[in-house]
Structure 1
């Protein structure tokens, strides 16, 4: 919800020409260096293009899907001590990640056409510069890839390192876009807020899939969850009686007549 509120605030300031817009353009002109060659800034801006971002996401989709399916098959066969009746939801996070990536152009392009904000290098034909498509592509592609792979990374240090690398990568992309004059700072920040909503959906799918995999339990073999009887021993765990004959499994006596199954006589007749 916080990302939605911040995105609405930034979009309102850009569309209405609010006071935040003047500060944004002043900061952008201070950072913008069109005549200074910067290989690092240009490389960062290029990382937000479809060509490097989509293959990274595709590789993460394939890897996480393969690991999730393999783990589910192992659990069905009783491996790792997991219940064989767990429902397969390994496909959910990759599916939501693909939907989030597909939503990027579906959301960014109409906003560009509607707001039509001129860029640092001047207005563009038929569309504007807010929000940044490159920043949105990088945020969703690399962010979704991280969320898909985190459940499969066992060491905490590796997970923390991966998170830091993805955050720094997106900062590099945003700084490169502003430095080279392709976008204003608010173009990049607005894209990050918008993509925060999309990545929240991917995170929820990953959490739901992981929780269902870890907490899914099936009844133990040989136990009837309703009647409380053991199919192998045929005994009632509470009453200790045979559910078919009603006999006591320890003495073998009939609970109604008290007859001994070996002699067929009741205790009173043996005394007389």
Structure 2
């Protein structure tokens, strides 16, 4: 049910972006609300923090964190005597490769202008879907799934997953706050990442405890 909902929502958003449908009014409303709140706060530190959160969605540091988590998970599985202790390594590599394979063609196809009216040059990449959002959600989400499976405590796994979700939400919020992306750019990438993580979660071995 979850992947169907995520895929369906992604399809609806993509259709609306492609045809310039009424759903894009959410982007304008969200941007207007953010600008009003930003003007009311008038705090440069909030803006710096938002940009810092957005930067967490870049390939650096997201991919190094993913690879480090894979090494850590493989080592912990090996020390625990897991039969497929090496599996986190190819899983992380696959996740890292999937990000550009899924995002870059979509950016080129939709060629959506940015929230500040930035135009897309011929053959260039647009703003939909959000690459930073997809990178953070897939990379950090995969890292959490890999390491989480080496934690014997269910409570520790829940805290790890909750913290990862908070970071990914922070990246998306930072992108919208800083006018780097439309809200629907971010939402679509969360749907895409959620589908990838759901599939990965079903194929990895269960937790050690």
User: TM-score, length-normalised on structure 2?
Assistant: 0.86
Maintained 8 Å contact 2:67/2:89:
no
Deviation at 1:68, TM superposition (A): 1.6
The C-alpha deviation readout for 1:169-224, integer Å capped at 9, x for no partner, is 01110010001000000000000101112112221222xx238x89xxxxxxxxxx
CA distance in 1, matches of 2:173, 2:24: 18
User: TM-score, length-normalised on structure 1?
Assistant: 0.67
Deviation at 1:156, TM superposition (A): 2.8
CA distance in 1, matches of 2:54, 2:165: 15
Mark the structure with the bigger radius of gyration: 1
**Which residue matches 1:58?**
67
Bigger relative contact order, structure 1 or 2, given CA contacts below 8 A and separation 6+? 2
Structure 2 regions of 5+ residues with no counterpart?
Answer: none
Q: 1:40 aligns with which of 42, 49, 62?
A: 49
3-state SS in 2 of match to 1:44? helix
Structure 1 regions of 5+ residues with no counterpart?
Answer: 74-87, 215-272
Q: 1:129 aligns with which of 127, 130, 133?
A: 127
**Which residue matches 2:196?**
198
3-state SS in 2 of match to 1:120? coil
CA RMSD after TM alignment: 2.1
Deviation at 1:25, TM superposition (A): 2.1
Maintained 8 Å contact 1:97/1:202:
no
Deviation at 1:100, TM superposition (A): 2.0
Q: 1:97 to 1:202 in 2, by over 3 A?
A: farther
How many residues get paired? 197
3-state SS in 2 of match to 1:139? helix
